Amino acid sequence: MSRLFRAMIIVLAVASCSSGGSSNAPRQLDNACAIVKERPEYLKAFRATERRWGVPVHVQMATIYQESKFKSNARTPFKYAAGVIPIGRQSSAFGYSQALDATWKEYQRDTNRRTAKRDRIRDASDFMGWYMNTTRERNGVALSDARNQYLAYHDGHTGFARGTYKNKAWLVRVAGEVDQRANLYQNQLATCKRR
Per-residue pLDDT tens digits for 108-117: 999 999 999 9
Residue 85 clears pLDDT 60, i.e. is over it? yes
Residues in the chain: 195
Residue 63 clears pLDDT 80, i.e. is over it? yes
Work out the burial of residue 18: count CB atoms within 10 Å of its CB; fewer than 13 is exposed, 13-18 middle, 19 or more buried: exposed
- What is the band of 19 on the pLDDT scale with cuts at 50, 70, 90? very low
Q: For the residues 154-180, what does the mean pLDDT come to? A: 96
The span from the CA of 39 to the CA of 85, in Å, is: 38
| Predicted local distance difference test score (pLDDT) of residue 98 | 86
In the DSSP assignment, the letter for residue 171 is H
| Predicted local distance difference test score (pLDDT) of residue 167 | 95
| Orientation of helix 40-53 relative to helix 57-68, angle to 10° | 120
| Predicted local distance difference test score (pLDDT) of residue 14 | 42
Question: Which is more confidently placed, 156 or 10?
Answer: 156
The span from the CA of 72 to the CA of 111, in Å, is: 21
Residue 123 clears pLDDT 90, i.e. is over it? yes
| Predicted local distance difference test score (pLDDT) of residue 95 | 87
Whether this prediction's pTM lies above 0.85 is answered by no
Residue 119 clears pLDDT 60, i.e. is over it? yes
| Predicted local distance difference test score (pLDDT) of residue 122 | 97
Tally of CB atoms within 10 A around 167: 8
| Predicted local distance difference test score (pLDDT) of residue 163 | 96
Q: For the residues 34-62, what does the mean pLDDT come to? A: 97
The span from the CA of 64 to the CA of 71, in Å, is: 9
- What is the band of 80 on the pLDDT scale with cuts at 50, 70, 90? low
Share of the chain above pLDDT 90, in %: 69
| Predicted local distance difference test score (pLDDT) of residue 157 | 96
